[in-house]
Amino acid sequence: MTAADEYLVELAATLRVRGRAKRRLLAECRDHLADASAVHGVDEAVRRFGPVHELARSFDTEVAIGRARRATVASVAGAIAVAGSALVMLHAAQPAASSPLAWAVVFFACAQTSAVSTFLAVLRAAALHGCEATPGDVALLCRRNGMGLAFALATLFAAGAAVPGQAPAWKILLGPVVALLAAVCVVRTHSLARRIDTQLPLVIREPVTDAFAVARRWVGKSFPVWSVRSGVVLAVTVVVAAAAAFGWGLVDDQGTLPSSLAAAAIEAALTVVGFMVLGPVLGLRAARHTYDDSVTT
């Protein structure tokens, strides 16, 4: 067995991806080493090709990023499908039914969390277009997708609990089926990221920065990119969410000023709690117990 064959065997064993992508890379590397060996000799060709672990890690990460972006598309489809099923359930509710306050709060909280998580995932996936990234970025994208799908399913459950009714089964089940298929894609991608890097350090990616980076790609290189502290983003989000809840309450036929103020207060409180609890998972802020060197920004 020549040095090139040993290199390819080691590369095949080190690569974490499986299937067509792996076969293609190995075929290309074999051809490359054959050409280089004819010119420089086998040992020199292997030396010039570079370390196995670096090539394997880089290639695995590239494949993982592609899968994560496709999983994001699937997650968006899943979240939309579940939202459709939830709407079907709400419209199928008994006319005189009124939902208990607790289930109504759970419904709106889960729906908004799902929407925000999915939006953050889409933003990150767009920001990753054409960019080099780390397994931590892949894992972050998977977590955002997973949160979006999980809270979408919770929204559907809360809708059924809040206003029971009857609707065609296939319409209600379509959403969860699509969401579960998307979840499989997300889990497989996260599993690949963990195989690439067993440590998977926490990654923080500011959504405002991602948004500006994506806009810059479309508008042009003169477009500035801002980095805004997460506390500022949270404050703005709380104000906007509370104002929206207050306005929605006033617009509602049965809404009164006290109920609108209560809705605004609940919305603000849930936004803050959601940020504090889910912020580390969604890559918005570092958890209190993490150290600097375990967090990548």
Residue 194 neighbours by CB distance under 10 Å: 17
Q: What is the largest CA-CA distance in the chain?
A: 83
Q: Does residue 171 belong to the site contacting another protein (CB under 8 A)?
A: no
Q: What is the DSSP letter of 252?
A: S
Q: Is residue 25 within the footprint of another protein (CB under 8 A)?
A: yes
8 A C-beta contact, residue 165 and residue 89: yes
Size of the site for another protein (CB under 8 A): 49
Give CA–CA dist 258/246, Å, rounded.
10
Residues 6+ apart with CB under 8 A from 122: 72, 76
Judged by CB under 8 A, which of 12, 84, 103, 209 binds another protein? Answer: 209
Among positions 252-291, residues that touch another protein (CB under 8 A) are none
Q: How far is the CB of 220 from another protein (least distance, A)?
A: 10
Beta partners for residue 274, in sequence order = none
Judge whether 268 and 242 are in contact, CB under 8 Å: yes
Q: Does 50 bind another protein (CB under 8 A)?
A: yes
- Yes or no: say if 114 and 151 are a contact pair by the CB < 8 Å rule: yes
> Stretches 58-66, 79-87, 184-192, 263-271: which one binds another protein (CB under 8 A)?
58-66
Which residues, 6 or more positions from 216, have their beta carbon under 8 angstroms from its beta carbon?
Answer: 223, 224, 225
Min dist. Cβ of residue 173 to another protein (A): 34
Residue 29 within binding range of another protein, rule CB under 8 A: yes
CB of 20 vs another protein, minimal distance in Å: 12
Q: Which residues pair with 296 in a beta bridge?
A: 203
**Whole-number minimum distance, CB 257 to another protein, in Å?**
37
Neighbours of 177 (CB within 10 A): 14
Residue selected from 205, 207, 260, 264 as contacting another protein according to rule CB under 8 A: 205
Nearer to another protein, 50 or 100 (CB): 50
Q: Tell me which residue has tokens 């051809």.
A: 31
Chosen residue from 12, 62, 73, 80 binding another protein by CB under 8 A: 62
Provide the minimum distance between the beta carbon of 134 and another protein in the complex, in angstroms, as a whole number.
Answer: 8
Minimum distance from residue 187 beta carbon to another protein (Å) = 21
Judged by CB under 8 A, which stretch of 54-62, 171-179, 191-199, 246-254 contacts another protein? 54-62
Q: Which 68-87 residues touch another protein, going by CB under 8 A?
A: 69
DSSP for 136-185 reads HHHHHHHHHHHHHHHHHHHHHHHHHHHS-B---HHHHHHHHHHHHHHHHH
Three-class SS of residue 41? Answer: coil
**Of 5, 35, 43, 252, which one interacts with another protein (CB under 8 A)?**
35
Task: Indicate the helix (H) or strand (E) that contains 133.
Answer: none
Is 294 an interacting residue with respect to another protein (CB under 8 A)? no
Minimum gap (Å) between residue 274 Cβ and another protein: 21
What is the smallest separation between the CB atom of 144 and another protein, expressed in angstroms?
16
The binding site for another protein (CB under 8 A) comprises 24-25, 27-29, 31-32, 35-36, 47-51, 54-55, 58-59, 61-63, 65-66, 69, 129-134, 137, 205, 209, 212-213, 216-217, 221-222, 224-230, 292, 296-297
